[in-house]
Every structure is written in structure tokens, then in C-alpha cells.
Chains A and B, each alone.
Chain A
Amino acid sequence: MNPLDRRSFLNKLTVGAAAAASGSAAYFAGPRPIQAAYKPKGNIPDKPFKTGHITFLTGPANLLGEPGRKGHLMAAEEINAEGGLLGRRKIETILADEAAGTDANVKELRRMKLSENIDLFTGIVSSGNTPALGPVAEELGVLTLFNDGCTDFLFDKAVPKPKYVFRVTNIQSADGITSAVGAAKAWPHAKRVASLQPDYSYGRNVHEHFMLAYQKLVPGATSVSEAWPKLGTTDFTPHITKLISDKPDILICGVWGGDYVAFYKQALRYGLFDKMKVATTLAFGGQPHAIGKDHPEGVLAGAHANYFFTFPGKGRWPINDSFVERYYKRWNEYPSFEADGAYTSLYLLKAAVEKANALVGGWPDDDAIITMLEGMGIDAPSGYTYIRPDNHQGYKDAVIGMTKNDPKYEFPIWDPESIITIPIRDITAPPNWPKPGQGHNESTAAANWLKTTWLT
């Protein structure tokens, strides 16, 4: 390990630049020469390929679930238009509502496997659900590509040695750290920190990792105010008044979905945005049009450290240009990070199936597909996504930017001048870093790694 020092770490981050284009754009659907399509080997059955997709179809979290569903369906439609997986197996999707609760989701996963006999399980937004579903998926032996539900706990503790379970979007600890890096770069003197977090695993994770990273980046930073609203809160006025009364320089806000919309509208009228800098992890996490033009500019708007559709910008990454265009044409709205993740999940599967087929011919069994997924990299709309073999977790460079209104859109986007990308290996624990319980008792491997090695 070469420990980074604080100043050079912040200085080397690129601001406003696009991801370097590498690889070929031809893998995804869209205009391309016909010979680019893969020609399968051996006999492929034409049995439909059944996927179970659970995401939020109702409730305030629908703002995140809806784009996931749409990204998944769009990828399935595109693959099916070319005949399906390996040109033969059409993808069918069984949907269920994640809002039914953790227990109901576990039952539904069992039902999907045992009575519908699904070939693949995907979706999931909430970090409360993946740790319950992961072990069940392993037990049932159902190939699983979680889209989100990105808690570190899943692969740190719940499924420490995954076989069937993978996850595509960035790991959760990277979310708080990304906002800390963005905030430290923008406001290096903001030392009094307030925190507004939903009171469950996600909010706890954001608070802890933001503070750990921020205190290393901004020496002397202290937490002066905390508020822990319940998930699904609509009245934030007492929280807002409390936060203002503690006179912080900066607020880190992990509230998301419909809750965030209610929060920012109330915070506006209480003058909160004039009294402190505001950094978020998920302001740009839902459907882009859920945030109105009344949202203040200059707020650090997190997209779960994953993706917002205006970056990489037009002409800089053809895969994204084409994805955004097709998504808009199909759904009459713009994609979110959940859309990118769900869409990329199915293409990861497609790539793994084709690679396995090239080696063994015929329809590959799950073990062969899993071997191909481990260590696989793919050029996704958001950039290069890599599945690490040791923990089956997806990694892509983290990205964040400041809100700005643009006459081209009905909602705020990232100010192109403000966007920073952070190499993901600089903010996540390296492969095989000791997990909680293996010589340390931090909440996550990332927390231990941050404390012991990160920035000197």
C-alpha cells in the first residue's frame, strides 16, 4: 500500500473531465454492424429465461425503484429483439413490490425459485433487504445480481463467501466517502458538521463513513448536530429547526426518495440552504424529474456514488449518449443510477453467458456463468464496471457534482464544471482486507481500512 497524502489526493481528482473512453461501444444495442452479434456454439434450447425482479413499485422509494424496473425491462427488450440470450432464450420478467417488506420479499424470492423456477434474480433497492435475501439466494442456489441494496454488510457479514450472489452498483461505504471528498474539495474550511440521516442501516453507514473520511480530509472537523428521521418521514420541520439551531458550516444529508423531496421543499422555506453548505448522497438518486427547479443550486448532489445521466457528457462516452437517448425514447424520461445498474446487470449476464458458451458450447450451467462473472469488466453507460472476484461486488469510479439549473431540462442537473470522479480503488478497501470480526470490530472492512491506512 502506498498511503496517499491528503493534499495530493484532493489535488489529483479531476474536475469537470469525462471518463476516458476505452473499449468498444458495440456491445450494447443500437446501431452496429450485424456481424458484431455473438454467434452461439452448440445446441441452445429455446426455453424462456425467467428472471425475478423485486424493486419498489409503490411508496416513497418508488422514485428509485421505477428506473430500476425500466432499465431492466429495456435491457430485456433489447436482448429479446436479437432473439434473446444466445439468440434463443427470450428473457421473461416476474415483477414484485419491494415495499411489501423484508419478510415478504424473502418469501417471494423462495416462491419465484420454487414455483416459478426463475433462472436469475435481480433488483432490490434497500440495504435492509439484501442481507436477508442474500443468504436465501445462496441456500436456494439461484443466480442473483442485486442491482442496489448496497450495504457493506452483505459481503462483509451476511454472505462473506458468495457463490451465487453478485451486486452491480458501488458498495455503500463509497457513498459517504464520495460525498466527503466532494465536500472537502468544495468547502475545505467547513468544520462544524451536521448530519441528517434516515434511521436505519443506510443512514448509519453514510454518517459513519462520511465522518471518517471528512475528518481526515478536513482536519479539525467535528459533528455538532445529528437528526435521525424515520424512513418515510414527510414532516422535517423540527429536524430543520434543530439543525439550524446548532449552527453548522455544512450538512451531510442521506435522506432519499420521496423523503428528500419533502425535505428540500421544507428546508427552502426555513432558509436552511442560506445558513449552511449542503452535501447529499442521494439528491440525484431518484428519477431526475422528481427534483424541481426550485431546488437550490450549489448543493453537492450525490447519485449514490454511481451515475447521473449527464455524465459522461455528450460526445465523451458514446455508450452513455446512446443509452440516454434510447431510454428517453422508450420511457419519456431520463435514467438514474438504478436504471444504469439494472440495465448493466442484464448485459453482464449476457456477456457471461456468451463467454461461457464460447468455451463449453450449448447453454452453460450456473457454475460456468458464475466463473465468467467473477472478474468480469464491462463498459456500461456510467463507465467501466468491474466485478471483483473475491467478494462479487461491482466497482466503478465514483462520481458527484453540484446542482445547477440548465434551460434544456425541467430539473436541475450537475454543473459540468463541478463534477469530480474518484478512482474507486482510492476509496474502497482492497481485495481480502480483513472483514469485521477478523482482527477488528469496525462496522465495515472499509471503516477499518479508512482508519488504518487512508490518507496520511
Chain B
Amino acid sequence: MDTLIIQTLNSIFYAAVLFLIAAGLSLIYGVMRIVNLAHGTFYALGAFVSAWAVGAVFGASSTGGLALIGQLLILPIGALAIAAVGAVIEPTLLRPLYGRPEEYILLVTFGLLMILDDVMKLVFGGTPLSAGSIMDGMGSIRIGGLLYPAYNLIVIAIGIISAVGLWAFIYRSRFGVILRATSQDRRMASALGINVGRIYVQAFAIGCFMAGLGGAVVVPAQAAVLGMGVDALILAFVVIVIGGLGSLEGALVGALIVSFVRTAGIQFFPEIELAVLYLIAAVVLLIRPTGLFGRA
């Protein structure tokens, strides 16, 4: 029973992080039809920036309630930094290519992935960075005979708040209406006096913010390691293949499916862990090629 509760929490934790990454990827695709291969790298960059900022301001050994609150407040810096990076990259690197075939964007974002990987190694060094003092400061809660880190509950909460917030933002706000209008018909939106360029920068920055936030919240629990972005990118693609490219609900449901199935696989059939996610993706593609919530 304890194991069941913890594994459920593990799954929701993992789904929260996956949702943050996949939602950003899906949002950017939904609005601009850009498949951003550097998205996982933005997630990794968010993790490195946050871990670095927490370490730089507080040092490795600071303890106490005040320091803990300070560290938690500093943590989102990674997300803000990545949003800023996104706001620079969209108009400079991507916009000149909108008139061209999609392959150009794929190539440019893939190049960006490799450049950013090297930049991260250059700036932050090759050894893993961690903001583990946050985890240690918050301690663990006891569930039956087992321990569960209290910080992971915060990540779960952030995942839920982001999902609700993003939904309200897109479906209940004026900006959301403009965003959806632009995504449906860019030329018509432009003709109606919407500054499409500005919408694009904002949407891209929001997508990047989500990726950076994913990295920022995950870094106290794991560690920022080189190469973490590639793995995240592949998982995010599995999520949106299952959920449907460009769909927010799809990202949420896809993230939940991926993480629960993965956990169940690990618990009951450890040998198939590698294959199981791709299996679900393959089945979904066979039955619903556009994904569960995708539009044709």
C-alpha cells in the first residue's frame, strides 16, 4: 500500500515535469508550427541556470528557514532566463525562415541544440550542478514505513498550477483569444490589426519559460547534468505524439499516460522499461495518427 501511494506520487511528479516541457513544445508548435528541437536543451539550460544561481547566492552549506525560502524564491530564475533567451532567439534566428520549408527550422533548432550543449559545458563545466540544499532543507515526509521528499510535493503543485494557469490564460484571457486567432489564421489576424510578430515572440517566450521552469523545479530533486536535454526532448515528443501536437489537453493527458505507464512498467515488468513508452506511442499512432487530442 505504501509502495502504491509513493509510486503514484512518483508518477504525478514525473508527469508534472513532463507536462511543463511538453506543454511548451506543444504551445510553440500550435501557434507557430515550429518543431523546436532545442526545446529539451532549454529545459537543461533552465536547470543549470537555477542550480548555478542557488549555489552562487547561498553557497552549498547554508541552512535554516530563511535561507530555504530565499533559495525557493531564486529557483525560478532559470525559467525567466530561458524566456529571455527565447525572446532573443525567435526574432533573430527563426523569423527569417518562416517563409521557407519546415526543414530549415528543424536544421536551425538542431544546430542550436548542439551549440547550447557546448555553451553549457563551457559556462557551467562538465560536472553535475545541484540545488540539493533545498531538498535537504525541506526534509522528507513519512508514508507508512517509507520516506517521500517534501519538495517533490511542491513540484506536483507547480505542475497543477501551471496546467490550470496555462488553460485559463489561453482560453479565458484576451491575450489567449488573440493567440488562438493567430494560430488559426496568421494572415487574417494580421489583417485585423494584430501585431503577429509580437504575438510570436511572446508565445515563443512563454513556451521557453515552461521548459525553463521544468528544468528549474527538477534541479533540486535530481541534478543538472550534461545531456539531460536530449532525453527530455525525446520524452516530450513521446508525450505530444500520444496527446496530439499543438494540444494543451493532449500534453497533460500524454504526460500522465507516459509517467503512469512508465512507473507501472518499472514496478511490475522492469525488463520492458525501454520499450514500453515507444509501444504506447506506436499504438496511438496506429489508431489515432494525430494523437488523442490532435487536430488533423
Interface residues of A (CB under 8 A from B): 57-63, 66, 99, 199, 226-230, 232-235, 237-239, 241-242, 244-245, 258-259, 261-262, 265-266, 269-271, 287, 289-290, 292, 294
Interface centre among A241, A262, A290 (most CB of B within 10 A): A241
| Docked pose: A159 CA to B262 CA in angstroms | 37
Interface centre among B222, B262, B273 (most CB of A within 10 A): B222
| Minimum distance in angstroms from A61 CB to a CB of chain B | 8
Q: Which residues of B contact A230 (CB under 8 A)?
A: 231, 273-274
A244 with B121, Cβ < 8 A, contacts A62-B126, A289-B127 known:
no
The yes or no answer to B147 lying at the interface (CB within 8 A) is yes
A238, B149: Cβ atoms under 8 Å? Answer: no
| Minimum distance in angstroms from B264 CB to a CB of chain A | 9
A229, B227: Cβ atoms under 8 Å? Answer: no
Q: Which residues of A contact B132 (CB under 8 A)?
A: 265, 292, 294
| Minimum distance in angstroms from A171 CB to a CB of chain B | 26
B270, A227: Cβ atoms under 8 Å? Answer: yes
Known: A265-B221, A270-B140. 6 other contacts (CB 8 A): A66-B126, A232-B231, A244-B3, A245-B267, A259-B225, A292-B132
B120-140 vs A, Cβ < 8 Å mask (1 yes, 0 no):
010000111010100110001
A63 with B221, Cβ < 8 A, contacts A233-B231, A265-B132, A271-B140 known:
no
A258 with B270, Cβ < 8 A, contacts A66-B126, A287-B126, A287-B127 known:
no
A235, B271: Cβ atoms under 8 Å? Answer: no
Instruction: Please list the 10 inter-chain residue pairs (A to B) with the smallest Cβ-Cβ separation, ordered nearest first.
Output: A258-B225, A59-B227, A245-B3, A269-B149, A271-B147, A238-B263, A237-B10, A238-B266, A261-B128, A62-B126
A242, B267: Cβ atoms under 8 Å? Answer: yes
A269, B147: Cβ atoms under 8 Å? Answer: yes
Q: Which residues of A contact B223 (CB under 8 A)?
A: 234, 258, 261-262, 265
| Docked pose: A316 CA to B146 CA in angstroms | 45
The yes or no answer to B290 lying at the interface (CB within 8 A) is no
| Minimum distance in angstroms from B177 CB to a CB of chain A | 36
| Minimum distance in angstroms from B251 CB to a CB of chain A | 18
Contact of B121 among A62, A233, A262 (CB under 8 A): A62
Closest to B44 in A: A234
B117, A58: Cβ atoms under 8 Å? Answer: yes
| Docked pose: A423 CA to B94 CA in angstroms | 60
| Docked pose: A445 CA to B226 CA in angstroms | 36
| Docked pose: A58 CA to B229 CA in angstroms | 12
Contact of A244 among B128, B130, B146, B225 (CB under 8 A): B146
Closest to A65 in B: B126
Q: Which residues of B contact A258 (CB under 8 A)?
A: 128, 223, 225-228
B267, A199: Cβ atoms under 8 Å? Answer: no
Q: Which residues of B contact A271 (CB under 8 A)?
A: 140, 146-147
The yes or no answer to B34 lying at the interface (CB within 8 A) is no
| Minimum distance in angstroms from A203 CB to a CB of chain B | 11
| Minimum distance in angstroms from A100 CB to a CB of chain B | 10
| Docked pose: A227 CA to B268 CA in angstroms | 10
Interface centre among A258, A269, A271, A292 (most CB of B within 10 A): A269
Closest to B10 in A: A237
| Docked pose: A261 CA to B10 CA in angstroms | 19
B130, A265: Cβ atoms under 8 Å? Answer: yes
Closest to B130 in A: A265
B147, A235: Cβ atoms under 8 Å? Answer: no
B149, A199: Cβ atoms under 8 Å? Answer: no
A60, B226: Cβ atoms under 8 Å? Answer: yes
A234, B225: Cβ atoms under 8 Å? Answer: yes
User: What are 27 pairs between A and B in contact, CB < 8 Å?
Assistant: A58-B121, A58-B226, A60-B226, A62-B226, A227-B270, A229-B266, A229-B273, A230-B273, A232-B230, A234-B228, A234-B231, A235-B17, A237-B10, A237-B14, A238-B266, A238-B267, A241-B146, A241-B267, A242-B267, A244-B3, A245-B267, A262-B128, A265-B130, A266-B221, A266-B222, A269-B140, A270-B147
Contact of A60 among B149, B228, B232 (CB under 8 A): B228
Q: B57-102: which residues lie under 8 A (CB-CB) from chain A?
A: none
A238 with B10, Cβ < 8 A, contacts A58-B118, A265-B132 known:
yes
Q: Which residues of A contact B11 (CB under 8 A)?
A: 238
| Minimum distance in angstroms from A410 CB to a CB of chain B | 10
B226, A238: Cβ atoms under 8 Å? Answer: no
| Docked pose: A381 CA to B147 CA in angstroms | 43
B160-203 vs A, Cβ < 8 Å mask (1 yes, 0 no):
00000000000000000000000000000000000000000000
Closest to A227 in B: B270
Closest to B127 in A: A290
